[in-house]
Amino acid sequence: MKFAFVIHPTSLEDVIRYEPGAVGKGRPLIEKIMEWMPAYTAARVTGVCTPDGRTTEGWFVAATYMPEQMLALPRETVYAKILSAIRIGADLGAEVVGLGAFTGVVGDAGLTIAERSPIAVTTGNSLTIAAGVKSLLRGAHEMEIDPACATAVVIGATGSIGSACVELIAPHVEHVVMVARNATRLRKLLDDLAGKVPCSLSIETDIRAAVPRGQLVLTATTSTQELIEPADLQTGAVVCELSLPHDVGRRVAIERPDVLVTEGGNIRVPGRPRFERVREPGRDFDLGLAPGTALACMSETMLLAIENRREHYTLGRGIDLEKVREIDELAERAGFELADMRAFDKPVTPGAIAAIKTAARERRASAVGTV
Ligand SMILES: NC(=O)c1ccc[n+]([C@@H]2O[C@H](COP(=O)([O-])OP(=O)(O)OC[C@H]3O[C@@H](n4cnc5c(N)ncnc54)[C@H](OP(=O)(O)O)[C@@H]3O)[C@@H](O)[C@H]2O)c1
């Protein structure tokens, strides 16, 4: 079975990576062009093959809006472009479609789009959640943090991804601080989860007050601005970034060499996956990831195609944790694995991790020295 995946640029760097001619054009002009542009097929995906020989192929179809436009334009206008991207995929033979980044966030997180779609729809959030939690715990292991004695801060905790991450992180840690802007929704989440999860929970609307409390930080927000101030992070903290666009800016890499930042939603795709530009056959479509790697939401869509699942899968903001577990198992069976750690367009190598740990030790020692 074939798949389609709806993509859109999440930053100006994404636009320039695809279209170098956009350099120097300025954001307002680029946004105007995108408003006029119809959806189009950006890449063909081939070579996905599981260890037991099952395959799929598909297309990335672009619904060209920036994240800010997805949030600001009339909802029906945005739905119309996403649905036209889905129809392009369906005409190419796709039977399941994934909603990438903000195309799965806008409105009711895929429910309305699924009602109007000619093919099965998923946001891909279930595998993103499974990968994000694993990635945070891998980071803790690398930084020699015992999660059982740690506080985790989940930013975007009331969201589709964030709320499920809280539930899955809770059994591993001592305390979770749940962060978002809307206090009413946070209080409701606290009421829903208190007594249901084994660790203690608290809520916070001020990110700057929350971040210093955690050794482990996971971000899954729809903010279009960087959210984490380098000075707020604990020495030797781990930050798992799921947001697209990112919440963690390069200032963290520059100013905090003692902190391990890792993109949590990157998956190594089995086989010899090839993402080829449709406009220039033979040229790779650059996802800004390591070769052979895709986002978890793309991987979920590929998996549903491999499994011949012609049904809507992850939709809406209330995530079914059974589906998270199921897709994680399907991923494991099909050879979709957590990709090696990466952040700020670079791999986080074992040497880099050793340097981060040394920087954390030195920072702790100098803090003791100054007391
Ligand atoms: N890596 C991947 O494979 C992958 C896959 C899918 C999605 N994503 C990304 O994951 C992110 C979250 O998606 P989602 O579907 O969970 O979205 P969602 O359901 O809309 O949730 C967004 C959450 O972020 C919070 N938030 C928004 N702006 C904020 C701000 N300025 N400060 C603090 N909290 C803020 C929201 O609460 P308040 O409004 O109350 O603040 C809410 O809790 C998006 O960036 C999306 O692109 C990544």
H helix intervals, the chain: 12-18, 27-36, 67-72, 75-91, 106-109, 111-116, 125-142, 160-169, 183-193, 207-210, 250-255, 296-306, 321-333, 350-370
Best probe residue, ligand 1, of 136, 181, 193, 222 (max atoms within 8 Å of C-beta): 222
**pLDDT at residue 368, as a whole number:** 81
pTM metric for this prediction = 0.97
Give every CB contact of residue 90 below 8 A, 6+ residues apart in sequence.
4, 97, 117, 118, 119
Average pLDDT over residues 140-156: 98
Q: Is the CB of 160 under 6 A from ligand 1?
A: yes
Q: Is the CB of 308 under 6 A from ligand 1?
A: no
Average pLDDT, the chain: 96
Q: Is residue 121 pLDDT above 70, yes or no?
A: yes
Q: Domain check: are 260 and 146 in the same one?
A: yes
Q: Is the CB of 9 under 6 A from ligand 1?
A: no
Tens-digit pLDDT profile for residues 245-296: 999 999 999 999 999 999 999 999 999 999 999 999 999 999 999 999 999 9
What residue's CA is closest to ligand 1, atom 33? 180
Q: Where residue 167 sits, what CATH number does that domain have?
A: 3.40.50.720
Tens-digit pLDDT profile for residues 170-215: 999 999 999 999 999 999 999 999 999 999 999 999 999 999 999 9
**pLDDT at residue 370, as a whole number:** 64
Q: How far is the CA of 79 from the centre of ligand 1 (A)?
A: 18
Q: Domain check: are 159 and 235 in the same one?
A: yes
**Count of CB atoms within 10 A of residue 225's CB?**
8
- Cα–Cα distance for residue pair 295/131, rounded to 1 Å: 10
Q: Domain check: are 240 and 365 in the same one?
A: yes
Q: Domain check: are 230 and 120 in the same one?
A: no
Judge contact between 228 and 250, C-beta under 8 A: no
Best probe residue, ligand 1, of 161, 188, 266 (max atoms within 8 Å of C-beta): 161
Q: Domain check: are 214 and 318 in the same one?
A: no
What residue's CA is closest to ligand 1, atom 46? 101
Judge contact between 94 and 3, C-beta under 8 A: yes
Confidence of residue 371 (pLDDT cuts 50, 70, 90): low
Average pLDDT over residues 137-154: 98
Q: Domain check: are 139 and 150 in the same one?
A: yes
Average pLDDT over residues 16-27: 90
Q: Domain check: are 206 and 347 in the same one?
A: yes
DSSP state of 284: B
For the CA of 242, the closest atom of ligand 1 is 1
Q: Domain check: are 103 and 138 in the same one?
A: no
Range of the domain at 120: 2-126+266-336
Which two tokens mark 282?
């033979």
Q: Domain check: are 160 and 197 in the same one?
A: yes
- Cα–Cα distance for residue pair 42/310, rounded to 1 Å: 23
Could you give the C-alpha distances from 72 to 65, 69, 107, 244, 313, in angstroms and in order? 10, 5, 11, 17, 27
Average pLDDT over residues 345-370: 93
Q: Is residue 322 pLDDT above 80, yes or no?
A: yes
Q: Is the CB of 126 under 6 A from ligand 1?
A: no
Q: Domain check: are 77 and 27 in the same one?
A: yes
Q: Is the CB of 277 under 6 A from ligand 1?
A: no
Q: Is the CB of 299 under 6 A from ligand 1?
A: no
Q: How many domains does the chain have?
A: 2
Average pLDDT over residues 303-331: 97
Q: Domain check: are 216 and 364 in the same one?
A: yes
Q: Is the CB of 273 under 6 A from ligand 1?
A: no
Q: Domain check: are 63 and 194 in the same one?
A: no
